[in-house]
Amino acid sequence: MIELPDTNSCFGCTACASVCRAGAITMCRDAEGFEYPSVDASRCVGCGRCDDICPSAHAPSMKHPADAQRVYAARCRDGRELRLSASGGVFGVLARHVLARDGVVYGVAYSSAMEARHVAAEDASSLSSLHDSKYVQSHLGSTFRDVQRQLQDGREVLFSGTPCQVAGLRRFLRQSYTNLLTCDILCHSVASPRIFSDYVRFVERHTRGRMVNLSLRDKSRGWGSGATRIDYADGTSLYDSYWASIWAVAYPLHLITRPSCHACPFCSGQRVGDISIGDFWGVERALPQSYCADGVSLVLVNTEHGCQLWGDVQADMFVDDSTLDDAMQPVLMRHSSPDVRRDEFWHDYQRGGFDAVVRKYWHYSPLLALRQRLKLLLRIGLRETGKEVERQP
């Protein structure tokens, strides 16, 4: 029976629940909204498989040898694909290549309720929802078992996720598949799904619209500009709005980060995926010829299997060789640290809910909210008279 000494030891990867044939383990959310395994002792048969596959206990052995790693700066040749992506569009290129071979791609999309969930894309039209970064922990559900079935049926599978999710999948599968490609993202941390859900409802209440997407990486002013966008079910969007800035401020403060992120064993140059992708911040200094205002990806190719696929897709990208030293990012050196006010934050949240913490920690102002509401009403009025205004100051 799986036993976790504290929350720092569990990534919420679902490997233990997925491997339990007795159905004794379910993933349940705690008071902070993060999923942890819960064991029904009456159904547990004591096989020990859950303990054996837990990636938390095997993290060092999950990392690929550094001597086989290759480092690149890359961006997609397709301008539209590049602008849709968070950085250089590499994931889209990999995904389209796998789909072209009748494969299936697993990544994170927002559900109709704005919950980040791992989903399967089996055609190009389904890929758009997997683009862009989701700054919240995704719900995996039965994804690991679904991936296993696809692999056993002989289909090529691309799985994209955080390093701990990739490690969890590999431990769950317990064998290498030549038809599986894993892609880990350069992850800073994951935020609470409960707080994110509260945030979405908060924005919907104030803007009187149903959110269908949040982008903190909108490229309307270029890569790394800090531009934001909220998309609504009626087809309208709010650009650079006060409402999006709340989450843009909340995420990096590490008040709402999963506890295990602050002890993450995967924040290093040695990676767990066949390929690792993220932003190549500082590329204009390290490789000036590779810089592009629409984004550049840092790509770490970590295995021979990854090298094979990388060789197949390079024709669809602009690629330059680099080194880990030139491409070094903070997330490749150390994990995040919790905000010193974290315990205080959650105490305040349990007592006063989201409205209390958004005022105290993220500087929500009713006066600014009123100003934004008036601008929103003006936008709606102009739209109804045929003078659509898309950008909000």
pLDDT tens column, 53-103: 999 888 888 899 988 899 999 999 999 999 989 999 999 999 999 999 999
pLDDT at 99: 97
Q: Does the pLDDT value for residue 256 go beyond 90?
A: yes
- Choice among 187-196, 283-292, 381-390 with the minimum mean pLDDT: 381-390
**Residues in CB range of 111: below 8 A, 6 or more apart:** 117
DSSP track, 105-148: EEEEEE-TTS-EEEEEE-SGGGSGGG-S---SPPB-TTHHHHHH
Q: Which neighbouring-strand residues pair with 213?
A: 231
pLDDT at 378 over 60: no
Q: CA 218, CA 248: separation in Å to the nearest integer?
A: 12
Q: What is the mean pLDDT of the chain?
A: 91
Residue 350: what are its φ and ψ, rounded to 5°? Answer: -65, -30
Give the per-residue pLDDT at 66: 86
Query: Taking 80 as the threshold, does the pLDDT of residue 111 lie above it?
Result: yes
Predicted pLDDT at 370: 60
pLDDT value at 242 more than 90: no
What was the pLDDT predicted at 362?
87
pLDDT of residue 363: 77
Per-residue pLDDT, averaged over 336-354, amounts to 96
Residue 392: pLDDT over 80: no
CB 331 within 8 A of CB 307: no
pLDDT at 176: 93
Burial of 38: CB neighbours in 10 Å, binned 0-12, 13-18, 19+: middle
Distances (CA, A) of 336 to 88, 186, 263, 266, 392: 24, 12, 8, 11, 32
Backbone angles phi, psi at 180, to 5 degrees: -115, 130
If you average pLDDT over residues 122-128, what whole number do you get?
91
Q: What is the per-residue pLDDT for 95?
A: 97
pLDDT at 377 over 70: no
Q: By percentage, how much of the chain surpasses pLDDT 90?
A: 80
Using pLDDT thresholds of 50, 70 and 90, give the confidence band for residue 348. Answer: very high
Crossing angle between the packed helical segments 193-207 and 342-362, to the nearest 10 degrees: 20
**In this predicted structure, what is the pLDDT of residue 366?**
64
User: Closest Cα partner for 277 from 176, 171, 160?
Assistant: 160
Q: Domains plus CATH for the chain?
A: 7-60 (3.30.70.20), 65-393 (no CATH)
Tokens representing 277 are 């992708």
| Span 219-236, average pLDDT | 92
Residue 354 pLDDT:
96
Which contiguous run of DSSP H or E holds residue 379?
Answer: helix 366-384
Q: Is 89 helix (H, G, I), strand (E, B) or coil?
A: coil
Q: Do residues 361 and 253 make contact, with C-beta atoms less than 8 angstroms apart?
A: yes
How sure is the predictor about 167, in pLDDT bands with cuts at 50, 70 and 90? very high
Reduced to 3 states (helix: H, G, I; strand: E, B; else coil), residue 362 is helix
Asked if 268 and 237 count as a contact pair (C-beta separation under 8 A), the reply is: no
pLDDT at 386: 43
Mean of pLDDT values over 21-30: 95
Residue 372 has pLDDT above 60, yes or no: no
pLDDT of residue 68: 86
